[in-house]
Amino acid sequence: MSTPVPARIAALRAAMQQHGVAAVIVPSADPHLSEYLPGHWQARAWLSGFTGSAGTLIVGREHAGLWTDSRYFAQAEQQLAGSGIALMKLHVPHTPEHMDWLATHLHEADVLAVAGDSVSLAGLRQMEARLGEHGVRVRTDLDLPGAAWHDRPALPHARIVEHPIAWACTSRADKLARLRTALHKRGATHHLVSSLDDIAWLTNLRGSDVECNPVFLAHLLVTAEGKATLFAERGKFDDALVAQLAADGVAITGYAGITGALAELRKDDALLFDPGRVVCAISNAIPAGVRRIEAANPSTAFKAVKSPAELDRVRDVMRRDGAALAGAFREIEHQLAEGKPLTELDVHRLVHAARAAQPEFVGESFATIAGYQANGALPHYRATQESHSALQAKGLLLVDSGGQYLGGTTDITRVLALGETSAEQRRDATLVLKGMIALSRARFPKGASGPQLDALARAPLWAAGCDYGHGTGHGVGYFLNVHEGPQSIRPPVNGGALVALEPGMISSIEPGLYKPGRHGIRHENLAVVVEADSTEFGDFLAFETLTLCPFDRRALEPGLLGPDERAWLDDYHATVRAALSPLLEGADLAWLERHCAPL
């Protein structure tokens, strides 16, 4: 039987007392500062019982709090019940941010502990600057959650494989050569990369150490003069792949060897690294005399802009992904019409099976969100064996899902009308669609950033006195992480970087509207930034919609759509019908024809 959460917190407090620590921060992080974590580094989830992907746990001598955002409020309230851990709602009036809370509750000479493998160098600096004003000392040499976690999972040992050049499109040697050109421009002799998607992209390797993300645990140290060392366990590679890497100047050394390699850098070396993407446990190994060049990883910008060859692969993947979903959604409708019992878990099963039948399918890009009626109002809801809803032939089903293919990564949300819907549901679904259409149709000057465009998707909702608490769009990798930077479409943040949208960048467009206890709406397509026009005022860009799957018009109120919006929807459905029809037959083709008919 697993230890209850209060006992885990008690064990942590005993370790805190032993080391004279007043409070511990347990972030959602690993040594690569990943969004999704291998089990070995899910200390926050283990200690608190809260399993959402975003959250920070703080345990003091008497108070424990879990800070998370509005996507997870309902989930956190449920999972924290009876734990003794308070839910601290981020971005809500009168609730302090966790650093403000610490500054108020810690005192002169108090010690705050955070494991050095779970906080970036930039994050540590901010922490020390904020709390140092109050005389608080921050220690990163203690992993107190790890000390209390006696049955901690081992590190993953999944195989590492080549991403074949037929799909990778650009060779490993060419990517490393491009990186070295950037190093020379910055005057760097060495470059440290710890972010897993950057490493996978640069090396044309893929793995499965992180659920739904085709990446592997590693660090990478690249020299400007033609050598590179990949710090990953040798047993994950077959001999042929090791030989291929060696031919491209990439040597394999054990995962833990990165700190020793950094310690060997000389005083005349210059190391480029991103202090926001490298944990302080790693950066502490850099000798004092080494010149530090602190800047974003060049590969982050490189991989964000997909090449024409990659985009051709993605467009093909979108056709097959759309065909798979057409079959899955048709089957859901059919089984409900036949009176067969279906649950949210069955939706996950049917969607997965349809994708798995497609060529080059590798796996899901994230765990499918199938939320029926009120469950759709939880943006990151996940049905489980212990807690899920049965479907009925009425109301709305929100399905947010995605696939990993050798030729690209997909992410799509559709809202299905399973039967009779209310006027409120149709109104809300239409308002969200109006926001999606507005952003999808946008023309914007070169140099514009996501935060400058975000309001386009929200304006129809604002006009109705509504809003949503998440971003409107995130970058998407190429057979990599479904969430990728540096670009994003979200409201402006004080001090946040404004990353210009560039041709070749893929982003989601996913406005939503959530009414707890009633229903949730989210429509999501992926789109690529393309060149649109050049005028006397400069160059302008636009979005090309990549996702190919019909919207359920039964969930809409067409009278709320203007002529231009109706034309956009009809044109989109005509495009979907033309693209998917050759891939479907029989009942699936009939379903497509029916759902792509003009308004």
Per residue in 121-172, pLDDT tens?
999 999 999 999 999 999 999 999 998 998 999 999 999 999 999 999 999 9
**Cα–Cα dist 367/413, whole Å:** 13
Please tell me what DSSP assigns to residue 224. Answer: T
Q: Are 168 and 175 in contact (CB under 8 A)?
A: no
Q: Which two tokens stand for residue 280?
A: 């302080």
Whether pLDDT at 445 is above 70? yes
pLDDT digits (tens, 9 = 90+) for 24-66: 999 999 999 999 999 999 999 999 999 988 899 999 999 999 9
Is the pLDDT at 222 greater than 60? The verdict is yes
Q: What does pTM read for this prediction?
A: 0.94
Residue 233 has pLDDT above 60, yes or no: yes
Q: How many CA atoms lie within 13 A of 160 on its CB side?
A: 29
Q: Which residues have CB under 8 Å from 395's CB, separation 6+?
A: 372, 373, 417, 418, 419, 420, 421, 425, 519
CA-based diameter of the chain, in Å? 74
Other CB atoms within 10 A of residue 136 CB: 22
Tell me the pLDDT band of 515, cut-offs 50, 70 and 90: very high
Nearest to 481 by CA among 404, 369, 379, 543: 404
Tokens of 470: 């998440």
Q: What is the pLDDT of residues 383-407, one digit of tens each?
A: 788 889 999 999 999 999 999 999 9
pLDDT confidence of residue 508: 98
Query: Which of 476, 409, 508 has its CA nearest to residue 167?
Result: 409
Are the CB atoms for 442 and 453 separated by under 8 Å? yes
Query: If pLDDT is split at 50, 70 and 90, which confidence band does 92 have?
Result: confident
Compute the mean pLDDT over every residue in the chain, rounded to the nearest whole number. Answer: 95
Return the closest-CA partner of residue 359 out of 313, 328, 396, 395: 313
Residue 505: beta bridge partners?
A: 305
The reported pLDDT for the residue numbered 367 is: 93
Per-residue pLDDT, 380: 80
Rounded to whole angstroms, the Cα distance separating 414 from 550 reads 8
Residue closest to 516 by CA, chosen among 548, 448, 469: 469
Q: Is the dihedral of CA 74, 79, 81, 87 positive or negative?
A: negative
DSSP structure class, residue 480: S
Output 105 or 387, whichever has higher pLDDT. Answer: 105
Give the Cα separation of 145 and 152 in Å (integer).
Answer: 10
Q: Is the pLDDT of residue 80 over 80?
A: yes
| pLDDT confidence tier of residue 371, bands split at 50, 70 and 90 | very high
Identify the structural domains of the chain with CATH numbers, from first to last: 5-148 (3.40.350.10), 161-304 (3.40.350.10), 308-595 (3.90.230.10)
User: Comparing 70 with 549, which gets the higher pLDDT?
Assistant: 549
**What residue ranges in 323-475 does DSSP mark as E strands?**
361-364, 369-372, 396-401, 403-405, 408-409, 412-417, 443-445, 473-475
* Nearest alpha-carbon partner for 231 in 269, 261, 208, 204: 261
Backbone torsions φ then ψ of 258, nearest 5 degrees:
-65, -40
d(Cα 49, Cα 46) in Å, to the nearest integer?
Answer: 6
Q: pLDDT value at position 289?
A: 93
Are the C-beta atoms of 33 and 23 separated by less than 8 Å?
A: no
Tokens found for residue 380: 């990151």
Determine the distance from the C-alpha atom of residue 303 to the mean position of all C-alpha atoms in its chain, rounded to a whole number. Answer: 15
**Residue 307: what pLDDT?**
98
Which helix (H) or strand (E) segment is 533 a member of?
strand 525-535
Helix and strand element counts for the chain (H, E): 19, 28
Which residue in this structure is represented by tokens 């109301």?
Answer: 395
The answer to whether the peptide bond before residue 486 is cis (omega within 30 degrees of 0) is yes
- C-alpha 300: how far from its chain's center? 14
Q: What is the helix (H) or strand (E) element at residue 423, kind and residue range?
A: helix 423-440
pLDDT in tens, 452-511: 999 999 999 999 999 998 999 999 999 999 999 999 999 998 777 789 999 999 999 999
* Residue 300 parent element (H or E): helix 298-304
In angstroms, rounded to a whole number, what is the distance separating the alpha carbons of residues 27 and 58? 8
pLDDT reading at 1 higher than 80: no
Output helix, strand, coil percentages for the chain, rounded to the nearest 5: 40, 20, 40
